[in-house]
Amino acid sequence: MRRILLVGAGHAHLAVLRSFATMPVYGVRLTLVTPLAKQVYSGMLPGVIAGHYRLDDAQVDNEALCGRAFAEFSRGRVTRLDLQARRAQLEDGSALEYDAVSLNPGSLVEDSLPGAQRTLAVKPLDAFLGALDERKLGRVAIVGAGAAGAELAMALAYRDAAVTLYSDRPTPPGAAADSRSSTAGELVSGYVNATGVSVSAASGATSTTG
Ligand SMILES: Cc1cc2nc3c(=O)[nH]c(=O)nc-3n(C[C@H](O)[C@H](O)[C@H](O)COP(=O)(O)OP(=O)(O)OC[C@H]3O[C@@H](n4cnc5c(N)ncnc54)[C@H](O)[C@@H]3O)c2cc1C
């Protein structure tokens, strides 16, 4: 029996689990290790913030998906891999042995900006959502005006926050960094303006205070 360990319930691993659910592979013992039994789906996060979706409807049930995929669900966070011994060390001190390991633990928000420790990072998404619920949304500054930043700005404005979206690029919010044709950016920009979000383009944040 070959033991395959999936670290993190990122998009790629969710697709792997879904394909195991429809087409099981015999002779393989699949394990998913990830911190949350249920996690919010990023594409629906702005809709949850705006109140268009209930959190329940926007969550991926990692544990249930494992059940359908005949995979073992292990709740935890991997802190170290011993590649020689083929062992993953977990935050709680336990370990998982494997024959093959696949990593999909996602990305973290760039935090080298001076003062970033005082800001709220959008990832991990569930921590962001929890922290947002505890805050009074008066004036909000969002650094980064890609598709996610633009969607978050509109969602927060929908909740009556006064939002300013800061971009280091001259392109409209939501436009791809390397795009010459800005059709998508112009469309998104129209919606962003309609929701009353202020856009500060070509003015990248260099630090945050307060
Ligand atoms: C507001 C917003 C809206 C977005 N909308 C879209 C969209 O509509 N379409 C789109 O394609 N993209 C969208 N994105 C981008 C999308 O979220 C990312 O591109 C995508 O999540 C990246 O997937 P990933 O598989 O790399 O990791 P993630 O989806 O971040 O998954 C990482 C997983 O690993 C787990 N994990 C982390 N550390 C560990 C560890 N040490 N041990 C074990 N598990 C760990 C996490 O809990 C999580 O389950 C959006 C992003 C944001 C912020």
Q: Where are the domains of the chain?
A: 2-103, 136-200
Q: What is the pLDDT of residues 46-92, one digit of tens each?
A: 999 999 999 999 999 999 999 999 999 999 999 999 999 999 999 99
CB 195 within 8 A of CB 154: yes
Query: Which tens digits make up the pLDDT trace of 146-164?
Result: 899 999 999 999 999 999 9
11 within ligand 1 shell (Cβ under 6 A): yes
- State residue 194's pLDDT score: 94
Q: Determine the Cα–Cα distance for residues 124 and 106; give it in Å rounded to an integer.
A: 9
Ligand 1: residue whose CA is nearest its atom 5: 43
User: What's the CA-to-centroid distance between 1 and ligand 1, angstroms?
Assistant: 30
Place of tokens 């010459």: 180
Angle subtended by helix axes 147-158 and 183-194, to nearest 10: 20
Counts of helices then strands in the chain (DSSP H, E): 6, 12
Angstrom distance (rounded) from CA 65 to CA 84: 30
The finding on whether 12 has its CB within 6 A of some atom of ligand 1 is: yes
Distance 107 CA to ligand 1 centre (A): 7
Q: Which residues neighbour 169 within 8 Å (Cβ) at sequence distance 6 or greater?
A: 145, 175, 177, 201, 202
Same fold, 2-103 and 136-200: yes
CA gap 171, 165 in Å, rounded: 13
Q: Which of 5, 7, 11 to mutate to test the pocket of ligand 1 (most atoms within 8 A of CB)?
A: 11
Tokens of 45: 């996060």
Decide: 40 in ligand 1 pocket, CB within 6 A.
Answer: no
Q: Which CATH class is domain 136-200?
A: alpha beta
Return the ligand 1 atom nearest residue 125 CA.
53
CATH topology for the 2-103 domain: FAD/NAD(P)-binding domain (3.50.50)
- pTM of the predicted model as reported, rounded to 2 decimal places: 0.91
Burial of 141 (C-beta count, 10 Å sphere; 0-12/13-18/19+): middle
